[in-house]
Structure 1
Amino acid sequence: MILYPAIDLKDGQAVRLLHGEMDKATVFNDDPAAQARAFVAAGCEWLHLVDLNGAFAGAPVNAAAVEAILAETRVPAQLGGGIRDMKTIEAWLDKGLARVILGTVAVENPALVREAAAAFPGKVAVGIDARNGRVATRGWAEETNVEVTELARSFEDAGVAAIIYTDIMRDGAMKGPNIEATAALARAVAIPVIASGGVSSLDDLIALRDCGAELNGAISGRALYDGALDLGAALQALKG
């Protein structure tokens, strides 16, 4: 199971939000590229990047920070936030991004997900962000009536590389991931599932690994910044 360290970008800084609320941001590093280098030095195999401003704006906002991370690291990175058309997808992949994450458009324009997944095999993931089992879009500001499993299953035949499932109410709260819901989703679809939201300790990672459903990986942010989770130790434990 892959551990994806998260770098959430707001106004050019690496931050973490509580429950996805932009006014509840804690700045952890003024230099996101330096943060990325530190994660890579600790041995991570992937980076998970989010353009928070972009998620609300509907277009890339923290491009300079993302480009600096791509220029200064040599591990694959995936990015979500504000990616809502083919031109933006192509531009990011051309700049060296390994995978784009499509969230809002997966609900509002699923045909784009299919088009992009066909055009760029293995490079398109779907981000499903949920509050109480329902999908939220546009930076988690808008709730829909779409069920998580329903949306995931609709892309079973699209060639999507992964589904990144985030329980919004666990995100940044250091209260542990929603293991039951994550495992249920992984069992319901053939697409690889990455767990996100609430991963706050080594015990959380082990619980996800041993949840009874095969997960591709887990994303952790605040716990790594706060020191509640040691990246090097976590990577060794998952390899073991």
Structure 2
Amino acid sequence: MLTNKNSLKRRLQIVELVRKRGEVSVEELSQAFDVSSVTIRSDLTYLEQQRYLLRSFGKARYLAQKSGEDILVPASDGAARKSSETLIARIAAESVGDHEAVMLGAGEIIHKIVPFLADRANLSLLVQDIAIAHTAQRFLHCELLLTGGQLENGGTAMSGPDAEASVARRQIDVCLLQASGLDRDGNLLAADPALARVAHAAARAATRTIVLAYQPLLDERSGKVFASAADVDMLLIDDGIDPPTIDTMARHGLTLERREGGVVEFRRD
């Protein structure tokens, strides 16, 4: 069940859910938010009047916003996202123990994990992103290694055959990776194909794989597959995930646990 503290929050979540999926039925929304279909229809009427979506035959379709138009997102939305990402990072860090060899992939949530590892003893850290390596030097006293590889498009994350080979030949106890999307088959996606290949090599090499995501696009065209939910040990995500995706995780053997702050944890028993 999705969080439903008030009608504004529910309507924000409806817009985001419809945006991700493109089209959602009234029945699906009613089940997702645990409210009556009458309440959902009232929400959809309001959102259609405000031109955030279109209604058609018992379904809601996303209406893309034009540049400069007001959107149904409060001013604090950016701060709320940062807070949620930090919470996801903290929960992920709880799975890292002393004396472990850890691989950190690329992404803002991955970057936020570093300070939460400050009290771990004798970590060996393999880092793909130069910016994350700089942060690790500030907060951690541990063995710090870079994957190597090449930088593309002015970014700080390394990729390419050298990075993939570096990751593949190392012993990794746990790798932490960030997904930008996932599809209906439970595949985890990275927006950049080059980064996806490094993430794939890390997931194959690691004893445990943890994937983090904030509002991932639920679209098989939104990126390159780097792992399946069947291959990971944990998926941490915000509570905007929809019921069909929850069912997909369950089919891949992951058990749902709701954590504080609206974070959803799928863990392999």
TM over 0.5, shorter chain:
no
Q: RCO (CA 8 Å, sep 6+): is it higher in 1 or 2? A: 1
- TM bin (shorter chain): 0.3 to 0.5
The two structures have a TM-score, normalised by structure 1, of 0.34
Greater radius of gyration (CA): 2
